[in-house]
Structure 1
Amino acid sequence: MPIKADVVMEAGAVVYHPDLVNLYGCQIGAGTRIGTFVEIQSDVVIGRNCKIQSHSFICSGVTIADEVFVGHGVMFTNDRFPAAANPDGTLQTAADWTCLPTLVERGASIGSHATILPDITVGHHALVAAGAVVTQNVPPHAIVAGVPARIIGSTLRSSGPAP
């Protein structure tokens, strides 16, 4: 079954195609919408009224606050030094690495095909451009783009009239 019994989904959360996702051990907030071909692993918490677009991967250790947009094909990571085997050639197990956390704060938006490295905070109402690779914390209201992602603007709007 693509949605395991240990998934906690609040009332009003929607998975558009339950047979075409892989959700296990996670929590999904009320009003959140999850597209097709999404994987959400154990120990992930997703807040209320989020949109998780198709083909995205949200790995263990990620916390997504309320009202966050995750575009198509976004990839989260949780290990800075991934490897299949230890130096002695034995297959790595969960005991051989540390799952690093990632936090996406309220109202942030992550564009399609962005990659978010672990141990990162994406600040509230920040915008990560499509295709960006986020290697360091993103301040609140910052717009970041590029590889590696750099601040290129702000999501704050001027209160005065448009020029």
Structure 2
Amino acid sequence: MPVVNARIDASAEFADPALVNVYGCAVGPGTRIGPFVEIQRGASVGARCRIGANAFLCEGVSLADEVVIGPGVMFTNDRHPRAVTAAGTLMGPDDWTLETTRIGAGAVIGANATILCGLTIGAGARIAPGSVVTRDVPDGAHVAGVPATPTRPSSLLDLAEAS
């Protein structure tokens, strides 16, 4: 798996560069990236972030500084995914609309969470493991569940930080 055409700060660390797929993106200083992570072109990762194994950051995802992305976290960037156009031809880059997603500074997203596209997760927000985020999450909010809804801080959310 390659690291190709990416702007990666020299202080960023990879668990194993041969076990990632990182291309056309930007990775900030002091960031740690686990094995089997994919970061696509157009994505950006801030300083001192931690990205767990098997995470997927697609085009349009932007992480501010000090964000934790747990293992297996998935982002989306297409609100209406389809394989073919109305005419039945395979869709290409001009046949869909990229939806951007922004993650605020210090946010923590627990293992196996799914973040739908076009959202903002605020600074310091915490997403419990396994949650499916379908709406914006305000600064400092704690959410859990499918779909993710506000909750009080709990040991479940503490697990998000440990993941």
Within a 5 Å distance, the mapping from 1:44-59 to structure 2 comes to 44-59=43-58
Query: 1:141 touches 1:154 (CA, 8 Å); kept in 2?
Result: no
Cα deviation 1:104-128 (Å, max 9, x = unaligned): 0000000000000011000000000
What's the counterpart of residue 2 of structure 1? 2
CA RMSD of the aligned region, Å? 1.1
Q: What is the match of residue 77 of structure 1? A: 76
Q: Distance in 2 between matches of 1:102 and 1:83?
A: 20
CA distance in structure 1 between the partners assigned to 2:95 and 2:152 by the alignment: 39
Q: Which whole-Å CA distance do the structure 2 matches of 1:128 and 1:146 have between them? A: 9
User: What residue number does 1:161 align with?
Assistant: none
Partner residue in 2 for 1:107:
106
Structure 2 CA distance for aligned equivalents of residues 9 and 88 of structure 1: 40
Where does structure 2 lack aligned partners over 5 or more consecutive residues?
155-163
| More deviation, 118-127/10-19 | 10-19
Tell me, what secondary structure is at the counterpart of 2:151?
strand
Runs of 4+ residues deviating >2 angstroms: none
Q: Provide TM-score, normalisation by structure 2.
A: 0.92
Query: How far did residue 153 of structure 1 move?
Result: 2.3
Q: Which aligned pairs between 1:10-89 and structure 2 lie closer than 5 A? A: 10-89=9-88
Following the alignment from structure 2 to structure 1, what is the Cα–Cα distance between the partners of residues 16 and 76?
Answer: 24
Query: What residue identity is the alignment partner of 1:54?
Result: A
Q: C-alpha separation between the residues in 1 aligned to 2:152 and 2:10?
A: 37
Q: Equivalent residue for 1:133?
A: 132
Asked if the contact 1:48/1:65 (under 8 Å) is kept, the reply is yes
Give how far 1:88 is off.
Answer: 1.7
Q: TM-score, normalised by structure 1?
A: 0.92
Q: Percentage identity across aligned positions? A: 49
Q: CA deviation at 1:154?
A: 5.2
State the shift of 1:11 in Å.
2.5
Pick the structure with greater CA Rg.
1
1:10 Cα deviation (Å)? 1.1
CA contact (8 A) 1:47 1:65 kept: yes
Report if aligned partners of 1:72, 1:111 keep a CA contact under 8 Å in 2: yes
The amino acid of 1:116's aligned partner reads: I
1:21-79 CA-partner distances (Å, limit 9, x unpaired): 00000000000000000000000110000000000000000000000000000000000
